[in-house]
Amino acid sequence: MSTAPLQSQYDEFKQLGLKLDMSRGKPAPEQLDLSNALMAALDGYAAHDGTDTRNYGGGVGLPEARALFGELLDVPAAQVVVDSSASLSLMHDVIVYSLLLGVPGHAPWMGAQPVTFLCPVPGYDRHFAICEQRGINMVNIPMTEDGLDMDLVERLVASDASIKGMWCVPKYSNPGGVVYSDEVVRRLAAMKTAAPDFRLMWDDAYRFHHLGDEKIGMANILDECAKAGNPDRAIVFASSSKVSWAGSGVAALAASPANIAWWTKHAGIRSIGPDKVNQLRHVRFLKNKATVEALMEQHRALLRPKFDTVLALFEEHLGSVPGVSWTRPKGGYFIDLVTPPGAAKRTIALAKEAGITLTPAGAAYPYGLDPEDSHIRIAPSFPSLDEIRQAAKGIALSLRVAISQ
Ligand code: PMP
């Protein structure tokens, strides 16, 4: 580490005139290249039941695409719907249908004002944006090393019937990298809720996205809910966004038979059918769980050095700075850099001046309000390894300058 005064190190860094965007967890071009065989994966348009995939129809997805996601999510194919690219759209639509029409056997959420969601924090900004835009109140739930403060969750849902749902990113959460323990999964499945129409929005976005050597598994939420007598409680979301192509993948929703029937009925109003040509080429290319896992290994080989580089540079430049810490994720797309209270916004502004765009401060909290102004989401996937080296150093310098002022 340089012994020059901090401010001059930062000023010198600024002179480099960098232009780096680390604000979103986007796959890098080399990762997208891993799936270029998608372009040649089709030798015809017919699905194996004879469906012409170019035409309208098939609202629940092609049988072979449902079977593939069934295998990936460990759910019977009949309990899976495969749609077009974004799982976020499926989450959005589940919430809108629930608000406007109610979940199976229940009145619309909208009639019961207010509607509240529990939001584990730090969490995914786009989840919170859906709630904010749809007028759903959000309550922060602190995340812990093995998931959530479950005593608090159980107490809240048992006593407040306005709590209709909860966001969950059960594995390698965005941005904290938290993995729910099996006990947390079981408690969520079995807890008593004052609202009989309560839903767990189970966003399994990073199910196969390991960074470490260990392939972490997890109790099956749909099985646990069924065992606990709450079969309709969880709706599972996943996609191939960070498996194949983020902008042109396929998304899936898995749930109880009653929820699948409910979804199919309402989604049939919004579309005459998903992009089945893309589903078919994904089935041809991804094939099965073993081939998906092999592809994820290739992603890991590209991502791991970037994460390791950030972690090593943070250790070098921030290791001895009091009040600063960061996560060492075993999977997913993010590192959560924790600053002393009140320093995240300033750090992000200084990094921006030095040419590094980071996710806005507060984004990992409902309403953009990080109560301590101390979380910075680092997304190392997109820039090259060289750029990552510069960016990690620049972020560390920005943070040290921020807390010295
Ligand atoms: N959920 C989480 C937790 C994410 O981090 C992301 C992408 N950043 C998504 C969902 C988006 O998924 P999709 O591309 O399938 O809409």
Q: What is the pLDDT of residue 405?
A: 79
Kindly state the greatest CA–CA separation across the chain.
70
Q: Note whether 60 and 16 are same-domain residues.
A: no
Contact of 207 with 58, CB cutoff 8 Å: no
* Atom 11 of ligand 1, nearest CA residue: 88
Contact of 330 with 172, CB cutoff 8 Å: yes
Distance of CA 403 to CAs 156, 326, 350, 374, 397, Å?
Answer: 37, 16, 11, 11, 10
Q: What is the pLDDT of residue 395?
A: 97
Domain boundary among 287, 309, 325: 287
Q: How far is the CA of 23 from the centre of ligand 1 (A)?
A: 14
Q: Note whether 102 and 243 are same-domain residues.
A: yes
- Ligand 1 pocket mutation, candidates 84, 126, 169, criterion most atoms within 8 A of CB: 126
37 inside domain: no
Q: Note whether 114 and 204 are same-domain residues.
A: yes
Domain span at residue 282? 43-287
Q: Note whether 57 and 147 are same-domain residues.
A: yes
Q: How far is the CA of 136 from the centre of ligand 1 (A)?
A: 20
178 inside domain: yes
3-state DSSP assignment of residue 233: coil
Of 237, 243, 269, 224, the closest CA to residue 130 belongs to: 237
Contact of 330 with 177, CB cutoff 8 Å: yes
CATH of the domain at 180: 3.40.640.10
CA distance 402 to 68: 49
CA distance 256 to 233: 8
124-141 tens-digit pLDDT: 999 999 999 999 999 999
375 inside domain: yes
Q: Which residues contact 283 (CB under 8 A, 6 or more apart)?
A: 62, 64, 65, 68
Q: How far is the CA of 232 from the centre of ligand 1 (A)?
A: 23
3-state DSSP assignment of residue 214: coil
* Atom 5 of ligand 1, nearest CA residue: 174
Q: How far is the CA of 81 from the centre of ligand 1 (A)?
A: 17
Q: How far is the CA of 237 from the centre of ligand 1 (A)?
A: 9
* Atom 1 of ligand 1, nearest CA residue: 205
Q: How far is the CA of 169 from the centre of ligand 1 (A)?
A: 10
- Ligand 1 pocket mutation, candidates 88, 240, 242, criterion most atoms within 8 A of CB: 88
* Atom 2 of ligand 1, nearest CA residue: 205
30 inside domain: no
Q: Note whether 228 and 99 are same-domain residues.
A: yes
ipTM of the complex: 0.99
Q: How far is the CA of 88 from the centre of ligand 1 (A)?
A: 6
247-305 tens-digit pLDDT: 999 999 999 999 999 999 999 999 999 999 999 999 999 999 999 999 999 999 999 99
Q: Note whether 61 and 90 are same-domain residues.
A: yes
Tokens standing for 210? 């390991």
* Atom 8 of ligand 1, nearest CA residue: 25
Q: What is the pLDDT of residue 1?
A: 63
Does the global pTM surpass 0.90? yes
Report phi then psi at 126, rounded to 5.
Answer: -75, -25
CATH of the domain at 370: 3.90.1150.10
35 inside domain: no
- Please list the alpha-helical segments (H only) found in 319-404: 344-353, 385-404
Domain boundary among 234, 260, 287: 287
For the CA of 246, the nearest atom of ligand 1 = 14
CA distance 291 to 128: 34
Q: Which residues contact 85 (CB under 8 A, 6 or more apart)?
A: 239, 241, 247, 248, 249, 250, 251, 275, 278
Q: How far is the CA of 176 from the centre of ligand 1 (A)?
A: 14
Q: Note whether 277 and 300 are same-domain residues.
A: no
* Atom 7 of ligand 1, nearest CA residue: 25
Q: Note whether 203 and 352 are same-domain residues.
A: no
- Ligand 1 pocket mutation, candidates 84, 167, 178, 203, criterion most atoms within 8 A of CB: 203
Q: What is the pLDDT of residue 112?
A: 67
For the CA of 242, the nearest atom of ligand 1 = 14
Q: What is the pLDDT of residue 113?
A: 81
Q: How far is the CA of 35 from the centre of ligand 1 (A)?
A: 18
Q: How many domains does the chain have?
A: 2
31 inside domain: no
Q: How far is the CA of 29 from the centre of ligand 1 (A)?
A: 18
CA distance 170 to 36: 30
Q: How far is the CA of 108 from the centre of ligand 1 (A)?
A: 26
Pocket of ligand 1 (CB under 6 A): 25, 86-88, 124, 169, 174, 203, 205, 239, 241, 246, 251
Q: Note whether 335 and 272 are same-domain residues.
A: no
Q: Note whether 267 and 308 are same-domain residues.
A: no
CA distance 69 to 267: 19
36 inside domain: no
CA distance 163 to 38: 42
335 inside domain: yes
Q: Note whether 136 and 173 are same-domain residues.
A: yes
Of 366, 362, 370, 336, the closest CA to residue 130 belongs to: 366
Q: What is the pLDDT of residue 2?
A: 67
Of 259, 254, 276, the closest CA to residue 97 belongs to: 259
Q: Note whether 59 and 173 are same-domain residues.
A: yes
Q: Which residue shows structure tokens 């990094």?
A: 351
**Segments in the chain below pLDDT 70:** 1-3, 112
In one-letter notation, the amino acid at residue 283 is V
* Atom 4 of ligand 1, nearest CA residue: 205
Domain boundary among 232, 261, 287: 287
Q: What is the pLDDT of residue 147?
A: 93
